[in-house]
Amino acid sequence: MTDRQAGSTSPKAHNIANEVRRRIVEREWRQGDRIPDEADLAIEFDAARATVNKALQLLADEGLLDRRRRAGTRVAIDPVRKATVTISIVREQVEQAGMAYNYRVVAQRRSPLPAAIAARLDVPEGQVMIHMRAIHYGDGRPFQLEDRWINPRAAPDLEKTDLWQLNANEWLVRNATYLRAELTFSAENANRRDARLLQTGTGQALLVMHRTTWNDLGFITFVRVAFQPGHRVGTENGENRGL
């Protein structure tokens, strides 16, 4: 007898997760409380344990639950939440904003990696990399400025490409699939060069993103991206992520 209850078209695991979330939000289960184990919940919700497991893992990923073998599942004492930033191709960002995209390479040369950066990347200092500086424009106004170091050893096809024509950013995103990435955001006062290239004033507060990527061959790129003054990077929280 398949008694699929009326009114719940969404996946069962989703419904279970929502119900558990409700109980937490409404303090039926308080922070630090232990909640029933999977087997019990499976009975209560008339579901297989695997389904309950999926639901609870979802909530644990959100940081709402704390799960440990033998110790059971507890409502997280401090609901650390996670937010997700999506890193897309610059051109698409610009075009999505309804602006005409343009791109200009300001400088490109081979150059040994500076010690300061090398240390940060855990890479031997002084290796020769491709260094390039470029500006992305939206409707003719500078949108972001990037200062990029590329490791040709990790992106072997790159040298065949004419970076002055193509877009290294795009090339990399499309061709140099990475396995690991690190991102940081910070704020910097625009220096002389930033100001000139972004057509703004020295000292302007700029949102700066540093991004490093690696693949199996090692470090691929290190980029400093400085955004146009006033730019915001938004995140949607991972709450309703795909289940």
Partner DNA sequence: CAGTGGTCTAGACCACGAG
Partner DNA sequence: TCGTGGTCTAGACCACTGG
13 lines the binding site for DNA (CB under 7 A): yes
Q: Is 88 in the site for a copy of itself (CB under 8 A)?
A: yes
Tokens encoding 232: 């915001």
Q: How far is the CB of 40 from a copy of itself (least distance, A)?
A: 23
Tokens in use for 66?
A: 């704390």
Query: Within 10 Å of residue 234's Cβ, how many Cβ atoms?
Result: 7
161 binds a copy of itself (CB under 8 A): no
Nearest partner of 3 among 16, 50, 12, judged by Cα? 12
Q: Does 243 bind DNA (CB under 7 A)?
A: yes
Site for a copy of itself in 53-72 (CB under 8 A): 57, 60-61, 63-64
Residue type, 178: Y
Question: With binding defined as CB under 7 A, does residue 107 bind DNA?
Answer: no
Q: Reduced to 3 states, what is the DSSP secondary structure of residue 147?
A: strand
Q: Which residues contact 171 (CB under 8 A, 6 or more apart)?
A: 158, 161, 163
SS3 call for 122: coil
User: Is residue 199 involved in binding a copy of itself (CB under 8 A)?
Assistant: no
Cβ proximity to DNA, 1 vs 116, nearer residue: 1
80 in contact with a copy of itself (CB under 8 A): yes
Instruction: Give how many residues touch a copy of itself by CB under 8 A.
Output: 63
Which residues are registered as beta bridge partners of 221?
150, 213
Which residues between 49 and 88 bind DNA (CB under 7 A)? Answer: 49-51, 53-54, 56-57, 60, 67-73
Phi first, then psi: give them for residue 116, nearest 5 degrees: -60, -45
Is the dihedral angle over the CA atoms 121, 111, 172, 138 positive or is it negative? positive
Taking the complex as a whole, how short is the minimal distance between the CB of residue 235 and DNA, in angstroms?
Answer: 23
Tokens matching residue 131: 């260094």
The footprint of a copy of itself (CB under 8 A) covers: 21-22, 24-26, 31, 57, 60-61, 63-64, 77-89, 92, 173-175, 177-189, 203-208, 215-216, 227, 229-239, 241-242
**Which residues would be at the binding site for DNA (CB under 7 A)?**
2, 11-14, 37-39, 46-51, 53-54, 56-57, 60, 67-73, 242-243
